[in-house]
Amino acid sequence: MRRLLVLFLVGILTSFSFNGVLGEEDQNFPPANASGDFTYGYTNVLIEYADGKTNELLAGYPSNHSEEDGLDAPIVDNLDAPMIFFIGDESESIEQYQWLQASLAQNGIISFVVQSAFIGEEDPSDMLHLARNAIAFGNDTSELGEGMFLDCNFFHWGVGGHGLGAYLAAESLYNWPNEYASPPRALFGLGLEMVSQQEHDISMILPRPSVALFITGTVDEITPADEHVEPYLENWPGGWQVVHAFGANHIQYQESTTFFEGLVDGDPTMTVEEQRQHAMHRLLPYINLTLRGDDTAWFQAFSRENGDVPSSTEAYYDEDLNQTRLYRLDEAHLSHSAIGIENSSTVSMNVTTRAGGMAEGNVTCHVDGANFSGILSGYESTCILEGQAISPGIHSGYIKISDGSFSDWQTFTIIRESTPMSAFDPAPVLIFSQRGSGTMESSEMAVDPDGENIQILNATLLSNLSQLSLSYQDENLTISHVQDEQWFGFANASVHLRAGWNDELNVTIQIEVRDVNDPLQQVQPVPPLTGTEDQGPLVIDLKDYVEDPEGASSVIDEVMENPDFEMNFDGTILTITPSDNWNGAAIIEVMMSDAVTEPISIEIPVQVQSMDDAMIVNQSAWNLTMDEDAGISISLNDFAYDIDNELTWKVNGNSQNVIIDVYGQGDNATLRLTGVE
């Protein structure tokens, strides 16, 4: 076996340049090869470093040999070929992917398989850059011909990988430094294994064409898609599609597998040949699209043979193609970089295919929620941006050309100038009552023609500073009366407003604090009103127990009824006459006011001391008649009663004809007379 030795001095080769700038794509694409009539040649490439370390790659290339084995076969002369660096899965040898290299070589594509251990997880971009430069500039000491890989197109190259290698390929493209030579422009992966969740910056702009293709199997149990490629792509800053091949597993993308690998992977329903053919059916047109500039390959590469929605009987799909960059675009140009509500600006951009031909597609423009339709005429795309549809401010927008999901875009910055606010005339008046507060919204102070929310930036009182306080938040201004609770009058406040991003206005509002007729206030409790039973009326003047804040006179409006009292009032004088023989304690409720405001309730305690009343005797009731041998019961209340219920009864004397008994005392006493036979 011959080896191609590439002598490589790291300090020198890292400075080589291909005159490529990240984001700029060379229009001299390698020609498409639709015949697939090359044979597969391959050779081992040994890279030697200045420090004595080496790394071995397996190169696959188009050849015209007729031998059974293409080892060290001559490469096709004068071949302008796209180049693929393919990174193998963890611990897999470089010979594991010859099926893929053979298919690529037969279609005019040069490939290099490198072990994932060489690329590493720390600096995959750096190591890939070194390997590519070694191929381009290393000293060829083999017998295959000096500079045999100089026919590689180092402007149109890409990266791919299997398992861990697919992850390293994606990370190398994402982290490709601007100062390095022309970046990889194709990215594909088979059964990507996500080593760790990456915090990708979704706003990053990847080099054209900024579209990646990942293929995985529905029975891949080593790197199931929902745990690896799907979460990895959550914030990927370019277009992507994941092809979920029905019945494909992980290890059938390798030339050989171990018994233990088979135990941990799923059981495929695709044969090895079917699984690999399915992958190449998408990968070959994908490479033609990305590295050969063949736009017609888009439909097969992304399963759009039957419309703009991917479909196939062999797979299902996940994708986000919004950030693809599949045209060649000049910088977007604005006819006016700043416009007002009544103005417009035309954004224009030259558009071609990536190969420089006339492009087709629909043109749209987007500015922070405002959408505009445009036109493509010849090589120029244009949109008219209407100021009335854009809110004031500095906006980032983009002009997009798309043919279904096949799209590209270019950003621009436009300033939408604010239309000045207008203060209301006459100035608004904030009215509230003394000891209260009032709130006024900014929309009551001024109007903004742009319809922007008006914010209060600052506000100050201009008069009566000691009587009032001021506060504001967002769109609301609040004034409160805080001192001298009987004060009322007028004041002014200055308010500084802003609408949108730079439209500011000072307005003055008026404040009116209105007088309030306050209800009476009870200044002290009413002491108990005392008397003795049956003494007569009790009189009290309530004027000393209430006062009016405004100094008005007070009056009794109403006295709540009480069955034990007769009550009369005149002004603030209340006369209470207890009922005959009544004694005890009670609360009299009186309603008082200034004859204008709501009355207040005043409670008056009343205490009447009892007196010992004389017993009353009913003389006529003492003559009783009863039938012989009969009996009667009589309430002794018929004979006599005492208002104070303090009577006691006893029987003096006796009779041979009548038995006399007394039951109970006081109001409940009963006399029982029973005749004797």
pLDDT digits (tens, 9 = 90+) for 405-428: 999 999 999 999 999 999 999 999
Give the model's pLDDT for residue 644: 62
pLDDT bucket at 3, cuts 50 / 70 / 90: very low
CATH number for the domain spanning 549: value is: 2.60.40.60
Give kind and range of the element (H or E) at residue 168.
helix 164-174
5 pLDDT above the threshold of 60: no
Nearest to 524 by CA among 603, 447, 630, 423: 603
Q: Which of 82-91, 196-205, 392-401, 605-614 has the lowest mean pLDDT?
A: 605-614
Nearest to 102 by CA among 215, 244, 255, 294: 255
Percentage of the chain lying above the pLDDT 90 cut: 63
Nearest to 451 by CA among 477, 412, 416: 416
pLDDT bucket at 153, cuts 50 / 70 / 90: confident
pLDDT bucket at 7, cuts 50 / 70 / 90: very low
Give the model's pLDDT for residue 148: 64
Give the model's pLDDT for residue 18: 40
Residues 499 and 548 in one domain: no
651 pLDDT above the threshold of 90: no
Give the model's pLDDT for residue 282: 97
Q: Is residue 244 part of a domain?
A: yes
CA angle 398, 400, 405 (to 5 degrees): 135
Residues 498 and 569 in one domain: no
- CA dist 634 and 224 (Å) reads 109
**Per-residue model confidence as pLDDT tens digits over 533-578:** 888 899 999 999 998 887 888 999 999 999 999 999 999 999 999 9
Residues 380 and 487 in one domain: no
Q: Is residue 178 part of a domain?
A: yes
Give the model's pLDDT for residue 209: 96
Nearest to 111 by CA among 60, 74, 181: 60
Mean pLDDT of 380-403: 96
Give the model's pLDDT for residue 16: 38
Q: Is residue 252 part of a domain?
A: yes
Residues 554 and 589 in one domain: yes
The more confident residue out of 391 and 642 is 391
Q: Is residue 25 part of a domain?
A: no
Contact 372, 383 (CB under 8 A): yes
Tokens of 559: 């006295």
Point out the domain boundary residue: 363, 388, 416.
416
Residues 349 and 383 in one domain: yes
Mean pLDDT of 378-389: 96
Point out the domain boundary residue: 381, 416, 451.
416
Mean pLDDT of 621-650: 69
CATH number for the domain spanning 405: value is: 2.60.40.10
The dihedral formed by the CA atoms of 428, 434, 436 and 437, expressed in degrees to the nearest 10: 20
Residues 531 and 501 in one domain: no
Residues 284 and 380 in one domain: no
The more confident residue out of 508 and 151 is 508
Give the model's pLDDT for residue 666: 65
Point out the domain boundary residue: 561, 593, 609.
609
Q: Is residue 34 part of a domain?
A: no
Q: Is residue 548 part of a domain?
A: yes
Give the model's pLDDT for residue 266: 94
**Per-residue model confidence as pLDDT tens digits over 309-362:** 999 999 999 999 999 999 999 999 999 999 999 999 999 999 999 999 999 999
Residues 181 and 147 in one domain: yes
Residues 288 and 170 in one domain: yes
Give the model's pLDDT for residue 8: 44
Residues 568 and 656 in one domain: no
Q: Is residue 552 part of a domain?
A: yes
Give kind and range of the element (H or E) at residue 170.
helix 164-174
664 pLDDT above the threshold of 90: no
What range does the domain containing 477 cover?
Answer: 423-514
Tokens of 662: 């007394």
Q: Is residue 23 part of a domain?
A: no
Task: Report the chain's mean pLDDT, rounded to a whole number.
Answer: 88
Question: Is the pTM for the entire model greater than 0.75?
Answer: no
Residues 376 and 442 in one domain: no
Give the model's pLDDT for residue 1: 45
Our count of domains for the chain comes to 5
The more confident residue out of 134 and 227 is 227
Residues 304 and 346 in one domain: no
143 pLDDT above the threshold of 60: no
